[in-house]
Homo-oligomer: A and B are copies of this chain.
Amino acid sequence: MFAIGEASRQSGVGIETIRYYEREGIVPKPERASNNRRMYSTHDIGRLCFLKKCRDLGFPLADAKTLLGLSEGDSEDCQSVKDLAEHHVLNVREKIRKLRRLEAALTELTANCDSGNVSCPMLSQLRAV
């Protein structure tokens, strides 16, 4: 069993954040030592690692919580997990698509700037209703 500082180091989740996750019910309340300090099992730390990875992947905390719940359900509901992930990946793809359009617009702007042209047709497009 590990103290919160060690759990933090092992999982990469900050101490304050761990306590915040506990307050928010994202992770269950850990055991307490006789001196009232939180004690984390390797399983508890595994949960924190799981959450860290989900967050790093850009999942909102609520989704991370759901995924964690799914990962610990009696029957791992693979379809729900997949749905959540695929919904997330669709969002990511949409963002990429839009960013590429903006990249083109910005590239066009710099090109026009080179040639001394002030008005940019693609930015006009961005302004359009």
A contact set with B: CB distance below 8 Å: 10-11, 45-47, 49-50, 53-54, 56-58, 67, 70-71, 73, 75-79, 81-82, 85-86, 88-89, 92-93, 95-96, 98-100, 102-103, 105-107, 109-110, 113-120, 122-123, 126-129
Contact B57 A102 (CB under 8 A): yes
Contact A126 B89 (CB under 8 A): no
Within 8 Å CB of A95, what residues of B? Answer: 57-58, 99
Within 8 Å CB of A123, what residues of B? Answer: 50, 67, 70-71, 76, 81
Alpha-carbon distance between A50 and B57 when the two chains are bound, in angstroms: 28
Alpha-carbon distance between A10 and B129 when the two chains are bound, in angstroms: 7
